[in-house]
Structure 1
Amino acid sequence: MQCFSEGEGGSGPDPEAEEKTCAVCGDQASGYHFHVMTCEGCKGFFRRTVLKGIQFTCPFTQSCLITKAKRRQCQACRYQKCLSVGMRKDMIMSEEALYVRRALRKQKRPKTPILLAELPEDHGLSLDQEKLIEILTEAHRKNFDSSFSQFIHYQPPVRLCLHSPQTQGPQEAPFSSLYLLHSEHMENSSNEVLPDVFSLLPLFADLSTFMIQQVIQFAKAIPAFRNLPIDDQISLLKGATLDICQIQFNTVFNEETNAWKCGQHCYTIQDGALAGFQQIYLEPLLKFHISLRKLGLHEAEYVLLQALVLFYPDHMDVTQRDEIDRTQEKIALTLKNYIDQRHPLPEGRFLYAKLLLLLTELRTLKVENTRQILHIQDSQDLSSMTPLLSEIIS
């Protein structure tokens, strides 16, 4: 995505760029990128391929002609052409390093007096950006049931009774409380029932299906998504749904209790452990939600973040990559402008960069989450119970 990338290691725009051609495809070059004169398209393609570790295979004879018109027909030969003309992988900077460099550049800018007539124009939200926020917010409000009033979930048939010294008689508590009890407390009570470790799986299966359905309806309410080919829609949903679910869950996360309030019920990391998820996933998950919640995002920022995750152009099997990239860039710029307008310094300092770092963490979490879901499904034969979740992670 252009707004997330830079020509690291280059010398900036070449004053004679209009007379230069891309060494990879022959298109008009914009300058030196990764040690070679290239166009913006080949610069972005090379950077994405290296950072994502994508492995391409040529369906022909590994000698495809790479031109401006044919450069998208064989990604394998295009990548090999990048390497053969001298583009260097070691000159590519991570997104995190790019934002640190940009921040340092801003801090080093000389503070010279500016005449009133020389003040820059107000870079507030454009009409198109305001319209985008309106569309996304409406899609979110119509399809995300924050009260969870429509969630008809599995109710565990066994309840736990605890004797409380402050009250007369037993006190009822949900299963998750059992996870926190001390062993000696269990030995002294005859009313407590130890649940099966997977007793909460049906609940999590229902909750996952409920959230996935909402994400699908949210995406279908966005015109830019509906205009994509159906195969691209499916690819984007498979890649983004679990991440969007976590962003939506963060809106109901209570950082004081470390619990997710889903209507009348609250769920904790301990409930996830009872459902069979491991600490290698649960601990980073809790850290992610605490970090995101502390940023104090507005509703508009949450919905823009969801859309930013949805329109991710680097999935290998999407066909309208350029269109998806342009949409994501538009969303990213809108999010950046909104933050600049609504979060004055020092509150807004590096807020945009922090969000992008959290998105990187979220993608890592999704990999581990998917691995554990597949393991739980295999061990408990839950694929028939969660067909929609199985389709998303397939």
Structure 2
Amino acid sequence: MSNTTEIPTTCSICRRNAKGYHYDVISCKGCKTFFRRMSLINFQGKCDLNNQCFDLTKANEPYLRCRACRYRKCLDVGMNQKAIQIPERNQTFGVIETMTKNTIDALVYLEEKLEKFRLSADNPHWQAVSDLELYLNNGSNLGLADKFGPTFENSVHESFEPKNSLPSSLKAVQNNKLNHCPTKKIWTLCNLLTTVEYLKTFNYFKDLSALDKLILARHVILIGKNLHISNYSFSKKFTGCLNIETDAQRERHYPVAFMLMAPLIRSQIQPIEYILLKAICCCNPAVPNLSQKAQSTLARERGQFVSILFDYCQRSGKNGPGRFAELIGIFSVMEKQQRMQKDMYMLYFAPHLTPDVKIQIKFLHDIMDS
């Protein structure tokens, strides 16, 4: 509150009823909050309407939705930025808490390690992978990327198109035989393992009981895998997914495998938005049958990631809440895609499994039969 005896009447910025002196200027609480928020994020937006949204000589009321003109008006009438208690600044994210910055940096580093692991020369086959529950409780395998080095170059961008005949994987199942080619990665397995390794890096996941780990993993692994591969393909400027295998059911499986690409392309998702969206989808407290303790833990973790994503959208210089809503809206597509993939697995793939093959691909069956 400034040291003045003038009685506040009208907001100096928007002309609504003033509520007092804020940052040395008579203003309403709305403009006070707006000025503080824009100052904290070091707002640099531009007006799209000739910079006249708050010129009351040309309009009866100011256009409050123009943040650029409103912020400039706050500065013009003398609002004092030095009166705001501003946290430590960060060049990349504007004003951001240290914990938030460290979280984003850690997720970016983790994503780099995951992609290195996924594209490494390590070439596991179905028989070498134990069941899901045992694999979840094993240690991290991300170090294998350094051990084996990068993968064979000709397989990195291999894209499988739908064919008119049964795919080799289904033929192998029908023949009670699972072939393994040392020079051709089993991308379905590698992509699933990458998401499992992602889950295993989080402290909240390590603290869950063995049963809660299994319940959560069976629900989020396929979603995380789809998002990872779709974003990888989008980043490479492909309109279809790389490093996946599609079966002969063109009218069924092919559109489902690629359905997440459309919202990613439409939203032009950015790298940090993607890693935060992925972190949010992998700590889902709404998964059925989780213990109450697990639900509380996951709700707390998800809340933190959601807050970070919202803050990042606010600092993007665009319509922050609108952008946040657009990104969160992608979840419905991911959930729908997963349900359709699991249904198709049980309808078109599982009936062909012999008992011997079902044992060999128990890792996959544990994920899909849930």
Q: TM-score, normalised by structure 1?
A: 0.53
What corresponds to 2:202 in structure 1?
Answer: 222
Matches of 1:211 and 1:220, distance apart in 2: 15
Matches of 1:390 and 1:137, distance apart in 2: 31
Match of 1:383 among 346, 353, 358: 358
The letter for the 2-side match of 1:389 is L
Q: Which runs of 5+ in 2 are unaligned?
A: 1-63, 88-93, 126-157, 173-179
Match of 1:299 among 260, 271, 290: 271
Matches of 1:232 and 1:304, distance apart in 2: 22
Q: Which runs of 5+ in 1 are unaligned?
A: 1-105, 155-173, 180-194
Deviations 1:109-161 (A, max 9, x none): 9969535237976883311111222332333322333772336388xxxxxxx
Query: 1:277: Cα distance to partner?
Result: 4.3
What corresponds to 2:318 in structure 1?
Answer: 345
Q: Aligned pairs, how many? A: 244
Residue 199 (str. 1) matches residue 168 (str. 2) = yes
Alpha-carbon spacing, 1:150–1:354, altered in 2? closer, same or farther (3 Å): farther
**Contact kept? 2:162, 2:250, Cα under 8 Å:** no
Query: 1:176: Cα distance to partner?
Result: 5.5
Q: TM-score, normalised by structure 2?
A: 0.56
The 5 A counterparts of 1:250-265 are: 250-254=230-234, 257-262=238-243
Match of 2:288 among 312, 316, 322: 316
Match of 1:117 among 80, 104, 112: 80
The letter for the 2-side match of 1:150 is A
Query: 1:363: Cα distance to partner?
Result: 0.2
Query: 1:386: Cα distance to partner?
Result: 2.3
The 5 A counterparts of 1:1-394 are: 114=74, 116-117=79-80, 124-145=95-116, 148-150=119-121, 152=123, 179=163, 196-201=165-170, 206-254=186-234, 257-262=238-243, 272=246, 275-277=247-249, 279-319=251-291, 320=293, 321-341=295-315, 343-345=316-318, 350-381=322-353, 383-393=358-368, 394=370
Query: 1:175: Cα distance to partner?
Result: 10
What corresponds to 1:28 in structure 2?
Answer: none
Matches of 1:117 and 1:152, distance apart in 2: 61
Query: 1:107: Cα distance to partner?
Result: 5.3
**Contact kept? 1:277, 1:372, Cα under 8 Å:** no
**Contact kept? 2:256, 2:337, Cα under 8 Å:** yes
Deviations 1:196-249 (A, max 9, x none): 423254699932221121111111111222222232222221110000001110
Matches of 1:234 and 1:210, distance apart in 2: 19
Matches of 1:230 and 1:238, distance apart in 2: 12
Query: 1:256: Cα distance to partner?
Result: 5.5
**Contact kept? 2:283, 2:302, Cα under 8 Å:** yes
Deviations 1:327-381 (A, max 9, x none): 101001111112222x3226x6722211111111110111110011122332321
The letter for the 1-side match of 2:201 is A
The letter for the 2-side match of 1:116 is M
**Contact kept? 2:241, 2:261, Cα under 8 Å:** no
Alpha-carbon spacing, 1:286–1:312, altered in 2? closer, same or farther (3 Å): same
Matches of 2:264 and 2:218, distance apart in 1: 23
* SS of residue paired to 2:284: coil
* SS of residue paired to 1:116: coil
Q: Supply the RMSD in Å over aligned alpha carbons.
A: 3.6
* SS of residue paired to 2:364: helix
The letter for the 2-side match of 1:249 is I
Deviations 1:262-301 (A, max 9, x none): 4xxxx5xxx62xx144534532543421321343333332
* SS of residue paired to 1:251: helix
Query: 1:307: Cα distance to partner?
Result: 1.2
Alpha-carbon spacing, 1:366–1:147, altered in 2? closer, same or farther (3 Å): closer
**Contact kept? 1:240, 1:310, Cα under 8 Å:** yes
Matches of 1:350 and 1:297, distance apart in 2: 14
Matches of 1:175 and 1:217, distance apart in 2: 23
The letter for the 2-side match of 1:137 is V
**Contact kept? 1:153, 1:206, Cα under 8 Å:** yes
**Contact kept? 1:135, 1:222, Cα under 8 Å:** no
